[in-house]
């Protein structure tokens, strides 16, 4: 049969791919997928505000295997060819381009491949520039030379020189999707930046928590840093707390792969009943466990594809969100062999329960929900639970009785909550989506004395210490690990 070439129009196809439904967090997560597949152990996400002649920019850098010229050329092609190994996170050969160009108009990728057999690879750059594509309506990649890069671009991409191998993805021309990053009002810029950092961080610490915890077989433990802050993984099932794990269910399923071949694989379903508020080790951990969308919306199914979380919570139309079952979270694990059954699309943002196993799961969900409800209903009566919701400075009453010693205690100072963590460990400072700052102090720490303060003057001094601590973290002057603890302890001792 005769054939005719019918190449797609670059301008219109790219424009439609830009609207796949990514937001900044999900787009960055798509690039983190690529870094993980390339065996990275460190990923740095940086969001730069404009400064002088340097525009706003977002950078995602990794220490993965990197790419040489041919590999990068193929990687930049829409629908790039790639052989995937078991456990790899890619599928369509599109994520790098569509996720990025949904957020920016200029995507520059610089990479340096791992040396192979005595070769010393150089860093290579390639760029998709939408203004150029739209002018020519062609699929022309730009290959800037060192001289054609702006000095600030060189400065960013030069980080690869010192590295043995790795990849840097640079997004610029962000005005369309992230105009507030370049707002003329500096305060607006900074407020938006703080909000963006919060969103991106809570998304990444959730989606990649297993990789960050180092529990994925065959993968290196992953550290992700967002604007200088190392993220702490967010485990939806709070396995460090008194979570109950119910019986695991395994369901075999046959499904067609992309070549139409039948593959058989197993879906693993693990229900967890999380502790009630009064059973958590501290108020801070309970709040952190509530997750980005809060307790009620975070109940339900957690779909993991090759250990990467696709969807966090929701009942896939099997039941309705209910306050009484909010302690029930269910991990559903499958491999990329079953992508078609779970309806995985390019964005890998959501998933559905395959129709073949829907009824079987539905039969079990009722029983799991009943158990979750029993735990919820067993809560001590409201009056016996400390519920200090006041926004004033207030100290819970101290009774020197045995029973009160192990109860969670907290001090609320406006939007700052300093809570006592009955476990041993280090001080944790975190900020939730509502902008509340939570400082959790383990009982073995010297600062834990703050919980025995009896009058407000002393408390004010302690507040100063805590403010210093918060300020240091918030202004990104120091990393949490770099806080001058000795200095703070000195001030603390002088004041109390």
Residues that bind ligand ATP (CB under 6 A): 30, 34-35, 38, 62, 64-67, 75, 80, 82, 90-97, 167, 346
In angstroms, the Cα distances linking 359 to 317, 346, 364 are: 12, 27, 9
Nearer to Mg ion by C-beta: 74 or 185?
74
Partner interacting with residue 62 (select from ligand ATP, Mg ion, none; CB below 5-8 Å by kind):
ligand ATP
Q: What sign does the dihedral 439-326-342-24 (CA atoms) show?
A: negative
Partner interacting with residue 300 (select from Mg ion, ligand ATP, none; CB below 5-8 Å by kind):
none
User: C-beta of 38: minimal distance to ligand ATP in Å?
Assistant: 3
Partner interacting with residue 93 (select from Mg ion, ligand ATP, none; CB below 5-8 Å by kind):
ligand ATP
Nearer to Mg ion by C-beta: 167 or 202?
167
Residue found under tokens 């990467």: 308
Partner interacting with residue 64 (select from ligand ATP, Mg ion, none; CB below 5-8 Å by kind):
ligand ATP
User: C-beta of 494: minimal distance to ligand ATP in Å?
Assistant: 50
Residues 3-32 that bind Mg ion (CB under 5 A): none
User: C-beta of 352: minimal distance to ligand ATP in Å?
Assistant: 18
Nearer to Mg ion by C-beta: 143 or 346?
346
User: C-beta of 61: minimal distance to ligand ATP in Å?
Assistant: 9
By the 8 A CB rule, do 411 and 450 touch?
A: yes
Nearer to ligand ATP by C-beta: 347 or 440?
347
Q: What sign does the dihedral 405-408-413-416 (CA atoms) show?
A: positive
Partner interacting with residue 35 (select from ligand ATP, Mg ion, none; CB below 5-8 Å by kind):
ligand ATP
User: C-beta of 116: minimal distance to ligand ATP in Å?
Assistant: 14
User: C-beta of 170: minimal distance to ligand ATP in Å?
Assistant: 12
Q: Per-residue x/- marks for Mg ion, 29-48, CB under 5 A? A: ----xx--------------
User: C-beta of 96: minimal distance to Mg ion in Å?
Assistant: 6
Q: Tell me, by CB under 5 A, how many residues bind Mg ion.
A: 4
User: C-beta of 77: minimal distance to ligand ATP in Å?
Assistant: 8
Residues 55-114 that bind Mg ion (CB under 5 A): 90, 95
Nearer to Mg ion by C-beta: 90 or 102?
90
Nearer to ligand ATP by C-beta: 38 or 328?
38
Nearer to Mg ion by C-beta: 55 or 90?
90
Dihedrals phi, psi of 253, to nearest 5 degrees: -150, 140
Partner interacting with residue 113 (select from ligand ATP, Mg ion, none; CB below 5-8 Å by kind):
none
Partner interacting with residue 82 (select from ligand ATP, Mg ion, none; CB below 5-8 Å by kind):
ligand ATP
Nearer to ligand ATP by C-beta: 96 or 472?
96
Nearer to ligand ATP by C-beta: 64 or 236?
64
* Residue facing Mg ion at closest CB distance: 95
Nearer to ligand ATP by C-beta: 26 or 35?
35
SS3 track for the chain: CCCCCCCCCHHHHHHHHCCCCCCHHHHHHHHHHHHHHCCCCEEEEEEECCECCECCEEEEEECCCCCCHHHHHHHHCCCCCCCCCCCCCCCCCCHHHHHHHCCCCEEEEEEECCCCCCCCCCCEEEEEEHHHHHHHCCCCCECCCHHHCCHHHHHHHCHHHHCCCEEEEEEECCCCCCHHHHCCCHHHHHHHHHHHHHHHHHHHHHHCHHHHHCCCCCCCCCEEEECCEECCCCCCCCCCCCCEECCCEEEEEEEECCCCCEEEEEEEEEEEECCCHHHCCCHHHHHHHCCCCHHHHHCEEEEEECCEEEEECECCCCCCCCHHHCCEEEEEEECHHHCCCCCCCCCCCCCCCCHHHHHHHHHHHHHHHHHHHHHHHCCCCHHHCCCCCCCCCECCCCCCCHHHHCCCCEEEECCEEEEEECCCCCCEEEECCCCCEEEEEECCCHHHHHHHCCCHHHHHHHHHHHHHHHHHHHCCCCCHHHCCHHHHHHHHHHHC
Partner interacting with residue 91 (select from Mg ion, ligand ATP, none; CB below 5-8 Å by kind):
ligand ATP
Residues 355-374 that bind Mg ion (CB under 5 A): none
User: C-beta of 350: minimal distance to ligand ATP in Å?
Assistant: 15
Q: Which residues bind Mg ion (CB under 5 A)?
A: 33-34, 90, 95
């Amino acid at each position: 049969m005769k054939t005719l070439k019918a190449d797609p129009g670059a301008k219109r196809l790219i424009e439609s791919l830009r609207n796949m439904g990514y937001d900044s967090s999900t787009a960055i997560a798509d690039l983190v997928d690529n870094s993980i597949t390339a065996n990275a152990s460190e990923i740095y996400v940086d969001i730069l505000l404009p400064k002088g002649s340097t525009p706003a920019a977002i950078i995602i850098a990794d220490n993965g295997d990197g790419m040489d010229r041919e590999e990068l050329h193929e990687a930049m092609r829409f629908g790039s060819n790639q052989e995937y190994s078991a456990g790899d996170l890619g599928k369509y050969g599109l994520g790098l381009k569509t996720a990025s160009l949904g957020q920016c108009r200029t995507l520059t990728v610089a990479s340096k491949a791992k040396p192979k057999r005595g070769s010393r690879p150089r860093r290579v750059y390639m760029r998709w520039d939408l203004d150029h594509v739209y002018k020519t309506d062609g699929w022309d990649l730009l290959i800037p030379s060192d001289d054609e890069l702006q000095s600030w671009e060189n400065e960013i991409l030069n980080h690869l020189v010192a590295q043995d191998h790795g990849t840097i993805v640079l997004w610029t021309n962000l005005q369309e999707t992230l105009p507030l990053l370049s707002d003329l009002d500096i305060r607006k810029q900074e407020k938006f930046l703080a909000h963006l950092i919060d969103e991106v961080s809570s998304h990444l610490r959730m989606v990649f928590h297993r990789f960050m915890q180092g529990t994925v077989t065959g993968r290196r433990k992953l550290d992700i840093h967002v604007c200088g802050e190392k993220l702490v993984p967010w485990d939806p099932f709070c396995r460090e707390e008194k979570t109950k794990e119910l019986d695991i269910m395994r369901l075999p399923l046959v499904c067609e792969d992309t070549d139409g071949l039948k593959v058989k694989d197993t879906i693993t379903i693990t229900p967890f009943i999380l502790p009630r508020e009064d059973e958590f080790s501290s108020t801070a951990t309970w709040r952190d466990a509530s997750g980005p969308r809060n307790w009620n919306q975070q109940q339900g199914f957690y779909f993991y594809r090759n250990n990467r979380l696709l969807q966090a919570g929701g009942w896939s139309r099997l039941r309705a969100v209910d306050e009484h079952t909010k302690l029930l979270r269910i991990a559903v694990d499958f491999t990329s062999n079953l992508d078609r059954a779970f309806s995985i699309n390019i964005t890998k943002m959501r998933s559905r329960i395959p129709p073949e196993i829907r009824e079987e799961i539905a039969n079990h969900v009722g029983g799991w929900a009943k158990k979750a409800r029993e735990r919820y209903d067993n809560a001590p009566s409201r009056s016996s639970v400390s519920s200090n919701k006041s926004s004033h400075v207030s100290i819970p009453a101290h009774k020197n009785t045995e029973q009160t010693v192990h109860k969670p205690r907290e001090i609320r100072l406006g939007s700052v909550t300093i809570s006592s963590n009955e476990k041993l460990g280090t001080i944790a400072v975190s900020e939730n989506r509502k902008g509340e700052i939570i400082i959790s102090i383990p009982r073995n720490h010297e600062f834990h004395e703050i919980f025995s303060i009896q009058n407000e003057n002393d408390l004010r001094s302690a507040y100063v210490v805590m403010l210093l601590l918060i300020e240091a973290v918030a202004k990104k002057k120091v990393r949490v690990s770099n806080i001058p603890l000795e200095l703070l302890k000195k001030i603390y001792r002088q004041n109390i």
